[in-house]
Structure 1
Amino acid sequence: MSNQNSTDPFEPGTDIEICSNDNGFRGAWYSGTVLKPKSNRNKQSILVQYKTLMSDEAGTKPLRETIDIIQGRPIPPREPRDREFKFSEEVDAYYNDGWWEGIVTGVLPGERYSVFFRATREQLEFGRAELRLHREWVYGNWVPPLEDEASISVELKSSNNDKFYKGALVEVSSDEDGFQGAWFAATVIEQLNNGNFKVEYKSLRNDDDTAFIMEEVDYNHIRPCPPTEIVDNFRLYEEVDGLYNDGWWVGVISKVSSKHKYEVFFRGTDEEIVFKHSDLRRHVEWINGKWVSSSSGMLSGRTEVE
């Protein structure tokens, strides 16, 4: 029996979702149950049992695994049964026994939707019951929270495109091997007739190092530059972006070495890298046309920046 009302989201017996770092599973969230906590000198870990992943070929023995606590989160709130998803909304799609983040690229007849996955560059079709609104677990709160959905203004592609005018500073994501999950600063050169954008990167140069790379990108791979924020210090287990190899990569503070240095864990590569304070920024998500981040004032709060 799960303890969903417990103040400790990782108390033994509690149902949670688990992010895997194994090849072929990175980026997906799987349901599981906390069996017991374990602690090491530098990290906090827990023993979990998956609900949909099995350890034997017969599929009768649930997989058990010891994970770092930053790989777990509570079960997200359920969607209303009559919820309809909109074009360009960020969603999680249930696929291969887990939930994978994607973007709605088509609203189809019969309550079905086309969903594009940046990580694999695939577009698949799902029924409404197989989707949920994409949410982030931020300082003990779901963002956006279920109760505020009716008041959230959903900006469609046409209104968001106003932010990507000629000369606008933006960030662009890449699906190329070795760059997946990173965001790179760029300038919009022009919007093309097909709805895509021609951009010039501010830090990526061509092979002979004679000019900055120019590239055509689509709506699913561009966003405004995050708002500038002064952060005095980052906290353990706080989500951050680290500046590495000319791009910003999302990770989690796994160790506070000093006031000016931090170890950051990256789920996508299962790496830990030391960063200076000046090479980190608070992680924010571009959700429904707004920047959403944790409030610097309250652990349970959030800040929305237009």
Structure 2
Amino acid sequence: MENLVFQKGIEVEVMFDEEGFKGAWFAATIVKPPYKKKTKDNKRKVDQSVNYEVEVECRDLMSDAKGKKKLRETIDLIQIRPIPPREKTRSFELNEEVDAYFNDGWWEGVVTEVLEKKRYSVYFRCSREQMDFHESDLRLHREWVRGSWVPPLPIEDEKARSSLEGKCSSDVADEKFSNGMLVEVSSDEDGFQGAWFGATIVEAAGENKYLIEYKNLKTEDNKEFLREEIDSLHIRPCPPETLVIDRFNLLDEVDALYNDGWWVGVISKVLGRSKYLVYFRDTDEELQFDHKKLRPHQDWINGQWITASKV
């Protein structure tokens, strides 16, 4: 059980569901290790679901106006992870996914411009803002998946590392979406964040933009499939099919097919008859799904699909 890693006194990073904190990870220390608590949550429409909760004390967030009392919170286990490895200061590339440190936390973003003097412009999808950062305030974005970091930790062999980085950089630079190609696209609009929708590339529509046609979303009159111009930061190839023959496990990260799109969530409870409860961080909802409506979550990073099985 992964919660055995999170014992009292361990330094971790935590995320919060409150508005204004989504998309960020904050340094904290475990005050009370994970414990089970049966709750009745009317909002999620779950009568007796078992939640793993952890009490933490934030390192930089304060609970008083004077800034002397550190914030303490009780959060779900799925909102906590170990401290990511702190690598040597490095340069970053266009379209690379990074975490940027500001407002006492690490916020997920994408490099949109490489500037002079080791500075970068970073776009944040959650807030739809773009800000400039020095490379010392950036780190490579990683996900904590089944007890390992994705992408994996740096390769020790310098030649192997150079070869891999060169290949990934080339893949990103050469990535083109051709007419008729099946892809998935995301959106920053309210109500659509955190989901990927199937689409087809119709044609290029300018620098780093494409006209796409959705596979399932239709126009208001419901007569034609919806078409939109999308920038390349919101387009990725369709992920390879990964079958889970047996079943998903508690805390597995999955994509759930819902409202014509794939929404990233976490298995919060394994039910009988191939059914699961899935918790969605972006909306703070918990819904029930059949096995056939779920797929293992995969990330498109540096021109490659990364899954837990590859770590």
Per-residue Cα deviation, 1:209-253 (whole angstroms, up to 9, x for no partner): 111110000011000011011112100000001111111111100
Which residue of structure 1 aligns with residue 141 of structure 2? Answer: 134
Cα offset, 1:259, TM superposition: 4.2
Cα separation, 1, equivalents of 2:106 and 2:278: 24
1:178 maps to what in 2?
191
Match of residue 100 from structure 2: 93
Match status 1:197 vs 2:210: yes
Match of 1:283 among 297, 302, 308: 297
**1:21 correspondence with 2:17:** yes
- Conserved in 1, the CA contact under 8 Å of 2:268 and 2:277? yes
* Contact 2:22–2:126, Cα closer than 8 Å, also in 1: no
Following superposition, the deviation at residue 168 of structure 1 comes to: 0.5
Q: Structure 1 stretches (4+) deviating beyond 4 angstroms?
A: none
Letter in 1 for 2:22: R
Give 1:138's aligned amino acid: V
Say which of 31, 34, 44 aligns to 1:35. Answer: 31
- TM-superposed deviation, 1:143: 1.2
* Count, aligned residues: 289
Partner residue of 1:188? 201
| Structure 1 portions without partners, runs of 5+ | 1-5, 296-301
Which residues in structure 2 correspond to 1:50-199 (within 5 Å)? Answer: 50-81=58-89, 83-148=90-155, 150=162, 151-152=164-165, 153-155=167-169, 157-161=172-176, 164-199=177-212
Output the CA distance in 1 between the equivalents of 2:293 and 2:281. 18
What secondary structure does 2:199 align onto? strand
Contact kept? 1:165, 1:190, Cα under 8 Å: yes
Per-residue CA deviation, residues 168-209 of structure 1 (Å, 9 max, x unaligned), is: 000000011111111100000011232311100001111111
- SS at structure 2 position matched to 1:23: coil
Inter-partner Cα distance in structure 2 for 1:285 and 1:217:
19
Superposition TM-score, scaled by structure 1 size? 0.91
Gaps of 5+ in 2: 39-49, 156-160
Contact 1:119 1:181 in 2 (8 A): no
Note the C-alpha offset of 1:96.
1.3
RMSD: 1.6
1:274 corresponding residue in structure 2: 288
Stretch deviating more after TM superposition (96-105 or 11-20): 96-105
Q: 1:246 aligns with which of 257, 260, 266?
A: 260
**Residues 93 and 99, structure 1, Cα contact 8 Å, conserved in 2:** yes
How far apart, in 1, do the equivalents of 2:21 and 2:173 lie? 33
What's the CA shift for 1:73?
0.2
- 1:213 counterpart = 2:226: yes
Work out the CA distance in 2 between the residues paired with 1:155 and 1:209.
41
**SS class of match (2:254):** strand
Contact 1:9 1:73 (8 Å CA) reproduced: no
| Counterpart residue type for residue 211 of structure 2 | K
Of 248, 269, 278, 1:234 maps to 248
| Distance apart, 1:8 and its partner CA | 3.7
CA distance in 2, matches of 1:130, 1:144: 19
Residues 25-52 of structure 1, C-alpha deviation per residue, up to 9 Å, x if partnerless? 1121111000012321412111001111
